[in-house]
Chains A and B, each alone.
Chain A
Amino acid sequence: MDYTNLRRQIISMKKSLFDQGYLDEQFNQLEELQDDSSPNFVDEVVALFFKDSSRLLTNIEQALEKYPQDFYRLDSLVYQFKGSGSSIGALRMKNECSMFKAHCNDRDLEGYRTLDDSSSIPASHSLLEQLHLIPWLTQMPPVTPEDKEGACHSEAEAGDIFSCKHKHQIKGPVST
């Protein structure tokens, strides 16, 4: 398996989540709390978030379908969702929850529903599914000098490896 490219892609994905405002500093806190005594801490917290969020999204959707709407229950569900998301640094989702709660307080969800689909809680949540990949960074074999040498080529460029100015030692089939 081409761990170098996989590692690079996961790092790039993580950076993108930060750059686009989906994650904030809180996620770094989780990584700082991961150590030899808690080697799977990030994975554990992320898993708890998705366990919570799966249940809460279902409950929120069911609550939205009821009429008249139980704004107290919706507010309570979104409160839990916001808190859970904030624990992993899900910044954009936290802000979406705040906006949703404001609409609940105003007893006006029509205003929230007219927002662009990309600005919804489920949309932000689905993008965060990529977080499942991050624990792989600590589980992959360590980077070797050979990995670093081959790192200048993406899988798509593997066929051009012989034209590269760098000297490469090819071990086994070149992945495509």
Chain B
Amino acid sequence: MASAAAERKVIRVLLVEDEEIHKVLARALLRSAVGGVELDEAGTGAEAVRRVRDGGASAGAYDLIITDGKMPVMDGHEATRRIRAMGVTTPIVGLSSDTFPSDVDAFIKAGADDFTPKPLSKEKLVRILAKFNLV
């Protein structure tokens, strides 16, 4: 899937975040760090699950999912669990202001592949994209 993204030269990212300031920052960072990016956004974990399911879970709608932890309706941990339960193997990165080991563990146990503390930065994003061979 990662090599397909690299061949396509456009990566499809789902950003799961309810707060505008983090969305604005993530949009700017993604467009700065990646030449071609198609960015979808979900304001809750429930919307994220719907987008992944409706986008064609088996077809791999996204190359990367970045999700906040605390959100209304459904948090990022539960969304991660449900996305994994669909059989989706897309890399999922948890993004949160809570950075205790227990917070990181919660994401990893839910099925996330990585965690990075807020705020998202160019360095963190480049590391994530390199880790999952998306650049």
Q: Which residues of A contact B (CB under 8 A)?
A: 26, 29-30, 32-33, 38, 41, 44-45, 48-49, 52, 76, 79-80, 82-84, 86-89
Q: Is B105 an interface residue (CB 8 A)?
A: no
Chain B 1-60 residues near chain A, CB threshold 8 A:
19-22, 24-25, 28-29, 32
Q: Measuring CB to CB, which residues of chain B are less than 8 angstroms from any residue of chain A? A: 19-22, 24-25, 28-29, 32, 70, 96-98, 118-119, 121-122
In the complex, the answer to whether A29 meets B19 with C-beta atoms within 8 Å is no
Q: Assuming A41-B28, A86-B118, is B19 touching A79 (CB within 8 A)?
A: no
**How close is B75's CB to chain A, nearest CB, in angstroms?**
11
- A24 CB to nearest chain B CB (Å): 10
The distance in angstroms between the C-alpha atoms of A29 and B24, with both chains bound, is 13
Q: Which B residues lie within 8 Å of A79 (CB)?
A: 70, 97-98
CB of A86 within 8 A of CB of B28, answer: no
The residue in B28, B70, B96, B121 that gathers the most chain A C-beta atoms within 10 A of its C-beta is: B28
The verdict on A33 contacting B29 (CB below 8 Å), with A26-B119, A79-B98, A87-B119 known, is yes
Contact A44 B24 (CB under 8 A): yes
**Docked complex Cα distance between A87 and B123 (Å):** 14
Most chain A Cβ neighbours within 10 Å, of B29, B97, B98, B121: B97
The answer to whether B118 touches A83 (Cβ under 8 A) is: yes
* Interchain nearest-CB distance for B118 vs A (Å): 5
Q: Could you say which residues of chain B place their CB within 8 Å of the CB of A49?
A: 21
Given contacts A33-B29, A33-B32, contact A87 B22 (CB under 8 A): yes
Which residues from B are CB-within-8-Å of A44?
24
Q: Contacts of A38 on B, CB cut-off 8 Å? A: 28
> B119–A48 contact, CB under 8 A?
no
**Is the CB–CB distance between A32 and B122 below 8 Å?**
yes
Once the chains are docked, how many angstroms separate the CA of A89 from the CA of B28? Answer: 16
Please, how many angstroms separate the alpha-carbon atoms of A87 and B70 in the complex? 16
Whether A84 contacts B70 by the Cβ 8 Å rule is no
- In the bound assembly, the distance between CA atoms of A84 and B18 in angstroms comes to 12
Distance, CA A33 to CA B121, complexed state (A): 10
* A33 contact from B22, B28, B70, B96, Cβ within 8 A: B28
Distance A76 CA – B29 CA, assembled complex (angstroms): 26
Question: How far is the CB of B124 from the nearest CB of chain A, in Å?
Answer: 10
